[in-house]
Amino acid sequence: MIVADFVDLRSDTVTRPTAGMREAMATAEVGDDVYGEDPTVNALEAEVAALFGHEAALFAPSGSMANQIALQLVVPPANELLCDADAHVVTYEIGAAAAYGGISSRTWPAVGADIDPDVVAGMIRPDGYFAVPTRAIAVEQTHNRGGGGVIPLATLRQLRRVADDAQLALHCDGARIWHAHVADDVPLVEYGRLFDTMSVCLSKGLGAPVGSLVVGSAEKIERARLIRKRMGGGMRQAGVLAAAGRYALAHHVERLAEDHAKAARLAEAIAPFGVLATAARTNLVPLDLTKSPLDAHALAAAARAEGVLISVLGPRTARLVTHMDVDDAGIDRAIDTLTRILRA
Protein backbone atom coordinates (compact mmCIF):
# COMPACT_ATOMS: atom_id res chain seq x y z
CA MET A 1 0.00 0.00 0.00
CA ILE A 2 1.32 3.46 -0.84
CA VAL A 3 0.62 5.79 2.06
CA ALA A 4 2.21 8.93 0.65
CA ASP A 5 -1.09 10.77 0.29
CA PHE A 6 -2.33 9.74 3.69
CA VAL A 7 -2.00 11.57 6.96
CA ASP A 8 -0.36 8.71 8.78
CA LEU A 9 -0.95 8.97 12.53
CA ARG A 10 -0.54 5.25 13.28
CA SER A 11 2.92 5.53 14.78
CA ASP A 12 6.04 7.67 14.94
CA THR A 13 7.92 4.76 13.38
CA VAL A 14 6.54 5.57 9.91
CA THR A 15 8.86 8.53 9.28
CA ARG A 16 11.20 8.48 6.29
CA PRO A 17 14.77 9.75 6.41
CA THR A 18 15.12 13.42 5.48
CA ALA A 19 17.45 14.59 2.71
CA GLY A 20 20.05 15.64 5.30
CA MET A 21 19.86 12.26 7.00
CA ARG A 22 20.20 10.42 3.69
CA GLU A 23 23.27 12.51 2.90
CA ALA A 24 24.79 11.60 6.28
CA MET A 25 24.06 7.93 5.60
CA ALA A 26 25.52 8.05 2.10
CA THR A 27 28.78 9.56 3.25
CA ALA A 28 29.21 7.54 6.47
CA GLU A 29 32.58 5.94 7.14
CA VAL A 30 31.98 2.24 7.73
CA GLY A 31 33.72 -0.97 8.78
CA ASP A 32 32.73 -4.40 10.06
CA ASP A 33 30.93 -3.78 13.34
CA VAL A 34 31.03 -7.44 14.41
CA TYR A 35 34.82 -6.91 14.52
CA GLY A 36 34.16 -3.63 16.37
CA GLU A 37 35.63 -1.77 13.39
CA ASP A 38 32.83 0.51 12.27
CA PRO A 39 33.91 4.03 13.26
CA THR A 40 30.43 5.52 12.90
CA VAL A 41 28.84 2.85 15.08
CA ASN A 42 31.62 3.28 17.65
CA ALA A 43 31.06 7.04 17.65
CA LEU A 44 27.29 6.65 18.06
CA GLU A 45 27.73 4.20 20.94
CA ALA A 46 30.16 6.54 22.72
CA GLU A 47 27.89 9.52 22.14
CA VAL A 48 24.77 7.83 23.50
CA ALA A 49 26.61 6.40 26.52
CA ALA A 50 27.84 9.91 27.33
CA LEU A 51 24.39 11.45 26.88
CA PHE A 52 23.09 9.21 29.66
CA GLY A 53 26.24 9.35 31.79
CA HIS A 54 26.95 5.63 31.37
CA GLU A 55 30.21 3.90 30.48
CA ALA A 56 29.08 2.18 27.31
CA ALA A 57 26.31 1.53 24.81
CA LEU A 58 25.60 -1.04 22.12
CA PHE A 59 23.86 -0.46 18.80
CA ALA A 60 21.01 -2.91 18.15
CA PRO A 61 18.68 -3.36 15.19
CA SER A 62 15.45 -2.72 17.12
CA GLY A 63 13.99 -1.50 20.37
CA SER A 64 12.66 -4.96 21.09
CA MET A 65 16.09 -6.52 20.74
CA ALA A 66 17.66 -3.76 22.85
CA ASN A 67 15.09 -4.39 25.60
CA GLN A 68 15.55 -8.12 25.48
CA ILE A 69 19.34 -7.90 25.58
CA ALA A 70 19.07 -5.61 28.61
CA LEU A 71 16.62 -7.91 30.40
CA GLN A 72 18.94 -10.88 29.87
CA LEU A 73 21.73 -8.78 31.41
CA VAL A 74 19.84 -8.15 34.63
CA VAL A 75 17.56 -11.18 35.09
CA PRO A 76 19.09 -14.70 35.01
CA PRO A 77 16.97 -17.58 33.66
CA ALA A 78 14.21 -18.74 36.05
CA ASN A 79 14.30 -15.42 37.89
CA GLU A 80 11.75 -12.65 37.79
CA LEU A 81 11.13 -9.30 36.16
CA LEU A 82 8.48 -6.90 37.52
CA CYS A 83 6.84 -4.46 35.13
CA ASP A 84 3.39 -3.09 34.40
CA ALA A 85 0.74 -5.11 32.58
CA ASP A 86 0.79 -2.76 29.60
CA ALA A 87 4.59 -2.60 29.28
CA HIS A 88 5.96 -3.06 25.77
CA VAL A 89 8.33 -5.76 27.05
CA VAL A 90 5.41 -8.03 27.99
CA THR A 91 2.80 -6.81 25.50
CA TYR A 92 4.50 -6.48 22.13
CA GLU A 93 7.71 -8.51 22.36
CA ILE A 94 5.97 -11.82 21.76
CA GLY A 95 7.13 -13.61 24.88
CA ALA A 96 10.80 -12.93 24.15
CA ALA A 97 11.85 -12.59 27.80
CA ALA A 98 10.56 -16.11 28.47
CA ALA A 99 11.57 -17.57 25.11
CA TYR A 100 15.14 -16.21 24.95
CA GLY A 101 15.99 -15.37 28.53
CA GLY A 102 13.98 -17.95 30.48
CA ILE A 103 12.68 -14.95 32.42
CA SER A 104 9.52 -15.08 34.47
CA SER A 105 7.54 -11.81 34.34
CA ARG A 106 5.01 -10.55 36.88
CA THR A 107 3.06 -7.37 36.35
CA TRP A 108 1.45 -4.61 38.35
CA PRO A 109 -1.92 -3.35 37.03
CA ALA A 110 -1.71 -1.12 33.97
CA VAL A 111 -1.50 2.47 35.20
CA GLY A 112 0.69 3.91 32.47
CA ALA A 113 3.14 6.46 33.84
CA ASP A 114 1.20 6.78 37.09
CA ILE A 115 3.24 4.25 39.07
CA ASP A 116 2.93 3.80 42.84
CA PRO A 117 6.40 2.74 44.06
CA ASP A 118 4.86 1.22 47.21
CA VAL A 119 2.80 -1.16 45.06
CA VAL A 120 5.96 -2.20 43.23
CA ALA A 121 7.88 -2.61 46.50
CA GLY A 122 5.10 -4.83 47.85
CA MET A 123 5.46 -7.22 44.92
CA ILE A 124 9.16 -7.99 45.34
CA ARG A 125 9.94 -11.60 46.22
CA PRO A 126 13.33 -12.27 47.80
CA ASP A 127 15.39 -15.45 47.50
CA GLY A 128 14.13 -18.45 49.41
CA TYR A 129 10.75 -20.01 50.18
CA PHE A 130 10.90 -21.75 46.78
CA ALA A 131 9.49 -18.61 45.18
CA VAL A 132 10.82 -17.11 41.96
CA PRO A 133 13.18 -14.36 43.15
CA THR A 134 12.72 -10.88 41.72
CA ARG A 135 15.86 -9.50 40.06
CA ALA A 136 14.74 -6.40 38.20
CA ILE A 137 12.04 -3.79 37.73
CA ALA A 138 11.32 -2.36 34.28
CA VAL A 139 9.59 0.93 33.53
CA GLU A 140 8.71 2.59 30.23
CA GLN A 141 9.50 6.26 29.57
CA THR A 142 7.38 7.60 27.92
CA HIS A 143 4.64 5.02 28.27
CA ASN A 144 3.33 3.79 24.93
CA ARG A 145 0.02 2.17 25.92
CA GLY A 146 -0.16 4.69 28.73
CA GLY A 147 -0.86 7.44 26.18
CA GLY A 148 2.66 8.84 26.04
CA GLY A 149 2.57 9.62 29.76
CA VAL A 150 5.79 10.76 31.41
CA ILE A 151 6.86 9.12 34.68
CA PRO A 152 7.80 12.00 37.00
CA LEU A 153 11.44 12.19 38.06
CA ALA A 154 10.39 11.97 41.72
CA THR A 155 8.65 8.63 41.07
CA LEU A 156 11.70 7.29 39.28
CA ARG A 157 13.89 8.31 42.22
CA GLN A 158 11.55 6.47 44.60
CA LEU A 159 11.71 3.39 42.38
CA ARG A 160 15.50 3.60 42.42
CA ARG A 161 15.37 3.50 46.22
CA VAL A 162 12.98 0.53 46.11
CA ALA A 163 15.37 -1.28 43.77
CA ASP A 164 18.42 -0.44 45.90
CA ASP A 165 16.75 -1.57 49.13
CA ALA A 166 16.01 -4.97 47.56
CA GLN A 167 19.27 -5.10 45.54
CA LEU A 168 17.40 -5.22 42.25
CA ALA A 169 18.28 -3.76 38.88
CA LEU A 170 16.14 -0.99 37.37
CA HIS A 171 15.67 -1.09 33.58
CA CYS A 172 14.19 1.67 31.47
CA ASP A 173 12.51 0.98 28.16
CA GLY A 174 13.36 4.45 26.92
CA ALA A 175 12.14 4.06 23.36
CA ARG A 176 10.74 7.60 23.71
CA ILE A 177 12.87 8.94 26.54
CA TRP A 178 13.69 11.90 24.30
CA HIS A 179 10.04 12.92 24.47
CA ALA A 180 10.12 12.79 28.28
CA HIS A 181 13.32 14.85 28.28
CA VAL A 182 11.68 17.53 26.12
CA ALA A 183 8.28 17.47 27.88
CA ASP A 184 9.60 17.63 31.45
CA ASP A 185 12.88 19.40 30.72
CA VAL A 186 14.81 16.69 32.55
CA PRO A 187 18.41 16.27 31.33
CA LEU A 188 19.03 12.86 29.76
CA VAL A 189 21.93 12.34 32.14
CA GLU A 190 19.52 12.79 35.04
CA TYR A 191 17.44 9.90 33.75
CA GLY A 192 20.55 7.88 32.95
CA ARG A 193 21.88 7.92 36.50
CA LEU A 194 18.72 6.25 37.80
CA PHE A 195 18.94 3.08 35.72
CA ASP A 196 21.22 0.06 35.55
CA THR A 197 20.24 -0.59 31.95
CA MET A 198 18.33 1.37 29.35
CA SER A 199 17.16 0.82 25.82
CA VAL A 200 16.69 3.94 23.71
CA CYS A 201 15.33 4.14 20.16
CA LEU A 202 16.42 6.31 17.25
CA SER A 203 13.53 5.24 15.04
CA LYS A 204 10.59 6.46 17.16
CA GLY A 205 10.06 10.13 16.70
CA LEU A 206 13.71 10.91 16.01
CA GLY A 207 13.26 9.92 12.39
CA ALA A 208 16.05 7.36 11.87
CA PRO A 209 15.02 4.36 9.77
CA VAL A 210 16.50 1.74 12.12
CA GLY A 211 18.32 1.51 15.39
CA SER A 212 18.26 1.37 19.16
CA LEU A 213 20.92 1.20 21.82
CA VAL A 214 21.41 -0.68 25.04
CA VAL A 215 23.06 1.56 27.63
CA GLY A 216 24.90 0.41 30.75
CA SER A 217 28.23 -0.25 32.44
CA ALA A 218 31.25 -1.37 30.38
CA GLU A 219 30.99 -4.84 31.92
CA LYS A 220 27.31 -5.15 31.02
CA ILE A 221 27.79 -3.91 27.48
CA GLU A 222 30.61 -6.40 26.92
CA ARG A 223 28.15 -9.15 27.86
CA ALA A 224 25.46 -7.46 25.79
CA ARG A 225 27.67 -7.80 22.71
CA LEU A 226 27.64 -11.59 23.11
CA ILE A 227 23.89 -11.71 23.71
CA ARG A 228 23.28 -9.52 20.64
CA LYS A 229 25.35 -11.89 18.49
CA ARG A 230 23.54 -14.90 19.91
CA MET A 231 20.21 -13.30 19.03
CA GLY A 232 21.36 -12.68 15.47
CA GLY A 233 21.75 -8.94 15.92
CA GLY A 234 25.41 -8.58 14.96
CA MET A 235 25.50 -6.17 12.02
CA ARG A 236 28.37 -5.55 9.61
CA GLN A 237 28.69 -2.15 7.88
CA ALA A 238 26.08 -0.71 10.21
CA GLY A 239 27.67 2.74 10.13
CA VAL A 240 25.22 3.64 7.37
CA LEU A 241 22.46 3.22 9.96
CA ALA A 242 24.42 4.68 12.85
CA ALA A 243 25.00 7.81 10.76
CA ALA A 244 21.24 8.25 10.52
CA GLY A 245 21.06 7.92 14.31
CA ARG A 246 23.82 10.47 14.89
CA TYR A 247 22.07 12.86 12.53
CA ALA A 248 18.79 12.31 14.38
CA LEU A 249 20.38 13.08 17.75
CA ALA A 250 21.92 16.27 16.39
CA HIS A 251 18.82 17.57 14.60
CA HIS A 252 15.63 15.93 15.78
CA VAL A 253 15.50 15.93 19.58
CA GLU A 254 14.54 19.49 20.48
CA ARG A 255 12.01 19.65 17.63
CA LEU A 256 9.92 17.00 19.44
CA ALA A 257 8.24 19.93 21.20
CA GLU A 258 6.51 20.63 17.86
CA ASP A 259 5.11 17.09 17.81
CA HIS A 260 3.89 17.50 21.38
CA ALA A 261 2.11 20.73 20.43
CA LYS A 262 0.48 19.01 17.44
CA ALA A 263 -0.69 16.16 19.70
CA ALA A 264 -2.16 18.62 22.19
CA ARG A 265 -4.04 20.34 19.37
CA LEU A 266 -5.44 17.03 18.14
CA ALA A 267 -6.47 15.97 21.65
CA GLU A 268 -8.18 19.27 22.35
CA ALA A 269 -10.12 19.20 19.08
CA ILE A 270 -11.28 15.62 19.46
CA ALA A 271 -12.05 15.60 23.19
CA PRO A 272 -15.54 17.18 22.91
CA PHE A 273 -16.82 14.50 20.53
CA GLY A 274 -17.62 11.87 23.12
CA VAL A 275 -14.00 10.77 23.00
CA LEU A 276 -11.97 10.95 26.15
CA ALA A 277 -8.58 11.99 24.91
CA THR A 278 -6.31 11.95 27.94
CA ALA A 279 -4.37 15.18 27.92
CA ALA A 280 -1.56 14.51 25.48
CA ARG A 281 1.66 15.37 27.27
CA THR A 282 3.89 14.08 24.50
CA ASN A 283 3.24 12.84 20.97
CA LEU A 284 0.68 10.10 21.64
CA VAL A 285 -3.06 10.77 21.77
CA PRO A 286 -5.02 7.85 23.21
CA LEU A 287 -8.69 7.67 22.30
CA ASP A 288 -11.15 6.01 24.66
CA LEU A 289 -14.22 5.15 22.58
CA THR A 290 -16.29 3.51 25.32
CA LYS A 291 -18.91 6.26 25.09
CA SER A 292 -18.79 6.66 21.33
CA PRO A 293 -21.27 5.00 18.93
CA LEU A 294 -18.25 3.99 16.83
CA ASP A 295 -15.85 1.30 17.93
CA ALA A 296 -12.12 1.59 17.17
CA HIS A 297 -12.23 -0.52 14.00
CA ALA A 298 -15.17 1.44 12.59
CA LEU A 299 -13.47 4.77 13.34
CA ALA A 300 -10.18 3.61 11.80
CA ALA A 301 -11.94 2.29 8.67
CA ALA A 302 -13.96 5.47 8.19
CA ALA A 303 -10.86 7.64 8.70
CA ARG A 304 -8.81 5.52 6.30
CA ALA A 305 -11.49 5.94 3.63
CA GLU A 306 -10.78 9.68 3.91
CA GLY A 307 -7.01 9.35 3.93
CA VAL A 308 -6.29 9.49 7.68
CA LEU A 309 -4.59 6.48 9.26
CA ILE A 310 -4.91 5.74 12.98
CA SER A 311 -4.01 2.73 15.15
CA VAL A 312 -6.50 0.37 16.77
CA LEU A 313 -5.22 -0.73 20.19
CA GLY A 314 -8.35 -2.55 21.38
CA PRO A 315 -12.07 -2.83 20.57
CA ARG A 316 -12.73 0.64 21.98
CA THR A 317 -9.25 2.09 22.15
CA ALA A 318 -7.42 3.86 19.36
CA ARG A 319 -4.27 5.94 19.14
CA LEU A 320 -3.03 8.89 17.16
CA VAL A 321 0.68 9.64 17.02
CA THR A 322 2.28 12.85 15.81
CA HIS A 323 5.73 12.88 14.24
CA MET A 324 8.00 14.79 11.92
CA ASP A 325 6.32 13.57 8.73
CA VAL A 326 2.94 15.11 9.65
CA ASP A 327 2.87 18.89 9.37
CA ASP A 328 0.31 21.38 10.66
CA ALA A 329 -1.78 21.04 7.50
CA GLY A 330 -1.89 17.28 8.05
CA ILE A 331 -3.08 17.81 11.62
CA ASP A 332 -5.79 20.20 10.37
CA ARG A 333 -6.92 17.56 7.89
CA ALA A 334 -6.95 14.86 10.58
CA ILE A 335 -8.96 17.08 12.95
CA ASP A 336 -11.46 17.90 10.21
CA THR A 337 -11.85 14.24 9.19
CA LEU A 338 -12.03 12.72 12.66
CA THR A 339 -14.38 15.31 14.11
CA ARG A 340 -16.69 14.97 11.08
CA ILE A 341 -16.80 11.17 11.47
CA LEU A 342 -17.32 11.35 15.23
CA ARG A 343 -20.01 14.01 14.93
CA ALA A 344 -22.09 11.95 12.45
Ligand X SMILES: Cc1ncc(COP(=O)(O)O)c(C=O)c1O
Comparing CB distances to ligand X, the nearer of 133 and 191 is: 191
User: Minimum distance between the CB of residue 180 and ligand X, rounded to whole angstroms?
Assistant: 11
Considering beta carbons, is residue 62 or 217 the nearer one to ligand X?
62
Find how far residue 191's CA is from the centre of its chain: 14
Q: Does 150 bind ligand X (CB under 6 A)?
A: no
The span of 110-118, 200-208, 278-286, 302-310 binding ligand X (CB under 6 A) equals 200-208
Binding residue for ligand X, selected from 204, 246, 262, 319, defined by CB under 6 A = 204
Asked if 311 interacts with ligand X (CB under 6 A), we say: no
Cβ atoms of 148 and 280 closer than 8 Å: yes
Indicate which single residue of 33, 38, 140, 259 sits in contact with ligand X (rule: CB under 6 A): 140
> Nearest distance from residue 227's CB to ligand X, in Å?
16
Helix (H, G, I), strand (E, B) or coil at 157: helix
- Listed in sequence order, the DSSP H helices in the chain are 19-26, 39-51, 63-74, 88-91, 96-101, 117-123, 153-165, 177-184, 188-192, 218-230, 239-251, 256-270, 296-305, 328-343
d(CA 241, CA 247): 10
Cβ proximity to ligand X, 201 vs 206, nearer residue: 201
Least gap, CB of 323 to ligand X (angstroms): 12
Which residues from 35-74 bind ligand X, rule CB under 6 A? 62-64, 67
- Options 54, 88, 179, 281; binder of ligand X; rule CB under 6 A: 88
CA within 13 Å, CB half, 41: 26
Residue 201 interacting with ligand X (CB under 6 A): yes
173 binds ligand X (CB under 6 A): yes
Nearest to 137 by CA among 94, 109, 108: 108
Give the Cα separation of 220 and 215 in Å (integer): 9
Rounded least distance, CB 4 to ligand X, Å: 22
* Cis previous bond, 142, omega within 30: yes
Q: Which residues bind ligand X (CB under 6 A)?
A: 13, 62-64, 67, 88, 140, 144, 173, 175, 201, 203-204, 212
